[in-house]
Amino acid sequence: MKKNILIILGHPNSESFCGTMADAYEAGARSAGHTVARLDLGCLRFDPVLHKGYAEIQPLEPDLASAREAISSADHLVFVYPVWWGGPPALLKGFFDRLFLPGFAFKFQSSTALGWERLLARRSARLLVTMDTPPWYYRLVYRMPGHNQVRRTILGFCGVKPVSISEFGPVKTSSHETRSKWLGNVRKLGLLGA
């Protein structure tokens, strides 16, 4: 089944290894006939700071308005980013803060109830996450704080499911052969639209 896929590169540098992973996923998805759009957050122009919280919603810059349309059109979201200090880069977190707003990503049923509508339901996601910490250590010792944040408290809260995670690391000490194998696996995920 062909999908509308949106790739979101959360690393500020498009020429990073994360950028190369996004390229591999995109190549696989396009070769399988999926419709693919891509956002490289480091190339977008927007203020990542939600200056007044939810008390006053900032108008979306044109790049964020376009990103909102791309998310609305997507069946499958692919986030590619590194783990820095246990979680996603500030740029990606700022993207979530500014764009995943009430009325677009979720809607509370009332000001006093705990219930809410998950407005991004009927979408799935894949997180392609690089790290210099060994993945087993990140899972067992740190308890995956960044994975839990993005999968559960952001995407899950907004109704995106399932959210699958592929970890790659440690990148810093990886060989050329290991990185080539990782890129091959990412390309296969793109082929499957997974």
Amino acid 54: pLDDT: 85
Tens digits of residue pLDDT in 69-128: 999 999 999 999 999 999 999 999 999 999 999 999 999 887 766 789 999 999 999 999
Closest CA to 165 of 192, 190, 140, 130: 130
Amino acid 114: pLDDT: 79
If you count DSSP H runs as helices and E runs as strands, how many of each does the chain have, helices first? Answer: 6, 7
Q: Cα 133 from chain centroid?
A: 19
**Higher pLDDT, residue 56 or 192:** 192
Query: Contact 25/7 with Cβ under 8 angstroms?
Result: yes
Query: Contact 24/187 with Cβ under 8 angstroms?
Result: yes
The tally of CA atoms less than 13 A away on the side-chain side of residue 42 is: 13
Amino acid 110: pLDDT: 76
Q: Cα 90 from chain centroid?
A: 13
The domain spans of the chain are 4-192
Helical segments of 34-175, H only: 62-73, 90-99, 135-140, 145-148
Tens digits of residue pLDDT in 137-190: 999 999 999 999 999 999 999 999 999 999 999 999 999 999 999 999 999 999
4-192 maps to which CATH number?
3.40.50.360
Between the alpha carbon of residue 68 and those of residues 74, 77, 167, 176, the distances in Å are 10, 12, 26, 36
Two tokens, residue 183 = 């890129």
pTM of structure:
0.96
**What 8-state DSSP symbol labels residue 43?**
G
Amino acid 14: pLDDT: 97
Strand partners, 106: 102, 118
Tens digits of residue pLDDT in 18-34: 999 999 999 999 999 99
Residue entry with tokens 């091959």: 184
